[in-house]
Structure 1
Amino acid sequence: MLKERKISLQGQDHQLSHTDKQLSILQDIDQISFADQLEVLNKSPFKPTGIDIFQVNMGKMCNQVCKHCHVDAGPDRKEIMSRDTMQLCLDALDQSDISTVDLTGGAPEMNPDFRWFVEQLSSRGKHIIVRCNLTIILANKKYNDLPEFYKKHQVEVVSSLPHFSARRTDAQRGDGVFEKSIEALKMLNSIGYGLPDSDLKLNLVYNPSGAFLPADQNGLENEFKRKLKGDFDIEFNELYAITNLPISRFLDYLVASENYQDYMQKLIDAFNPAAVDGVMCRNTISIGWDGFLFDCDFNQMLDLKLNHGIPNHIKDFDVDLLTKREIILNNHCYGCTAGAGSSCGGVTT
C-alpha cells in the first residue's frame, strides 16, 4: 500500500518550486517505483523505437481554465513560443524524416505565429495535428475561420470533449463550454470534418472528470457517437480515452481533495505490462515553448528535460542521438500504463 499520510503542496519547504514539490510527492511511495517496475520486466534502460511524432507546445496561454489540465494553462499564462524557436523546429524537421507534427498548448491557436507555423509545416508536406479545445473557434472573430484554415492545410483536428452532456462538460471545463463546443463541432462537420466519406479527420478526447480511470475506449466511443449523432447530428472519427496523470493542476486537486493516495494506488494496481511498449515517449519527442526537449508532454510539465548527455534543446537537435536516448522515468508514468494504457492517441494496447 502507499504510505498513509497527509500530503500538502503548501506545507513543504517554501524554497522548493511548485514543480519540485510535485516531484517530491510523486517519488514518495512505498510500493515499487515505475523505474524499478521496468527493471523487473527487463525493459531498462527504457529507450525509444524512433521518432515518428514531433510534438510542439506552442505556449501555455489558453482561453479556458480546465480543472484536469496538466499544463496549468489559462488566459494569464505568458509563456509563448517565439517565431525564432519555431524556425529552429523547422530546421530540425528539415534534417529528419519525421512526418507528423502535433501542435498543442494551451490553445496553440492563441500563439500569434500559429498560422505561419502551420503554413510552413504544410509547405513541407507534414501531417499536422492540432489539439483544439473547440471553444477557441468561437472565442473571437479572428478565430472564426479556423475550420476553413484547418481544411486548407488538411490539418487533423483532435478536440477535447469531456462528455456528451452539458452538466459534466461544464463542471470540468467551465460554464457554457459544452454549448460552444457543440457549435464548433457543427462548424467542423459542415465543411467535411469527421464525416464518413471525408479525409478530414476529427477526433475527440475524453478525460475522466474525477479521480478514477477512464472506461473502455471502444465503449465510450460508441456511446459518444450515438449520443452526439442522436442529440446534435454531430459526427466524428475516433475517440481517445486518456488517463489523467497526477501532475500539475490535477495533482493539486488530488492533494487538496485528499484523493492522491487512492488515485496513485489505482494506477499502480492497474499497471499493465502489455501497455508499456506502446507509450508515446517511445516514438515521440516533445518540444517545450522555449525550445527545450522532453520525452513527452507530461515530462515537460514536470521540467524533466532529456538527460544522460543528450542535447536537450532544439538548437542542438540530432535525430540519431535522440533515437538512442534513455527515457526519463518517474512515478507519474504509471498513468500511461494503467489498464489499457494511455497516450495522446488514446489506449496503447
Structure 2
Amino acid sequence: MEKAIPMPRCLQGSTLIGLLLALPFTYFAISYIYVASYHQEVFLWNTVIHENGRLTLAGSLFYFDHFIACVPMIMVFALCTAGGFAMTGRVPALAEPSRAGRVAAVLLGGAALMVIVAFIASVQTAGWERTIDYALQRIERDGVLSKGGNWNQLQLSNIPIAIGAIGLSCSIFMFTTDPDSKNAGLVTGGRICLGAALALMVAISAMTFTEWQAYLNPRWMAHSIREVATYPLTGIPIALAAVLLVERYLSGQDAWLVEPRTLSMALIGLSILLVVGQLIHLSNIDVMAMAQKPSFAGGGLSVPYLLGSHVFEHFLDFVFITPLTAGIYALARWRARV
C-alpha cells in the first residue's frame, strides 16, 4: 500500500484575511477610544485632535496634502508586499490569464484616479503652493521646510518597514500538493517589483539627499519610531490582505500555508535590528521635548496620544495601498501568464 504524503497544515483564506484586517481595525478602534477619552468627547469629527493643533478628526482622515507627500512611500510598500509574495512563485494555474490583466488595469486605474482626485482636493483645501511643496518633498511638518522634507525623515522608517514587508509576504505560500513547485515567470515578476521599489527609493533619495548626518536627527528618528509603531499593524496587513483577496478572485484557491523560512526570518530580523538601533540612539534623548505642543495640550502630549492620533492622518494611505498592491500583484500574475 502506497504511503500517504503528509500535508502541512494550512489556513483558510477567509481566516487569514480576517486576521490581517483585524489588526488595523483594532488599532483604529483603540486609537479612537483613547483620543476620545483624552478629549472627553464621544464624537470627534469636528474636534481638533492632531498634534499640529489645527486638524480635526475629519481633517486628519482627509489630510490630502500629506497623502500626496506619502504616495512614493506607499508605492514602495506596495511593491515590496506584492513582490515578496510573487517571489514565492507557488500559485495554481489560471483558467483565463487575461483576466489578471483586466483586474490589474481596473485596480491600478482606480489607484491612479485616487491620486488625481486627492491632488485636486489638496489644491482646494491647502492651496497650490503647499500641495506642490508636499509633492516635491519640501515639507517635514507644519512650519518646517527642508530639502527632501517628508521623504528624508521617513526613510528611517521606510527601510525597516519595507524589509519587514518583504519578509512577511514571502512567508505566505499558496497551499499546493507540490510544495517545491514554482512558477518562474511569477518569481521574475516579484524580482521586478522589488527592483522597482529599490530604484524608486534610490532615485528619490538621490534627488533629495543633503548629508548622511541628517539621518541621525533625533526628531527624524522619533518620527520613524512612530511610523514603525503604526504601519506594520495597519498598512502592511491591509496590503497583504489585498494580495490574498485578488489571488482568491483570480484562481479561486482559498487555502494558504504560512511558513516563515530562513530568508523571511532573516529579513524580519534585520528589520527589527534597524528599529532597535534607532531606539538605542534615542535612549538618552528627551524626544518629548521635540514634539509639537498644540493649544489643547499645554503640558505636552503623551506617547500613547501621539501614537493614537497619528494613525488617522494615514487613513488615505490605507485606502490607496489596497488597490495599488492588489493591482501590482495582478499585473505580475498577468505577466507570468499562469
- Shared fold by TM > 0.5? no
TM-score range with shorter-chain normalisation?
A: 0.3 to 0.5
TM-score, length of structure 1 as denominator length? 0.32
Which of the pair has the greater relative contact order for Cα pairs under 8 Å at 6+ separation?
2
TM-score, length of structure 2 as denominator length? 0.33
Larger Rg, first or second structure (1 or 2) = 2
Q: Which structure dedicates a bigger proportion of its chain to strand?
A: 1
Q: Which structure dedicates a bigger proportion of its chain to helix?
A: 2
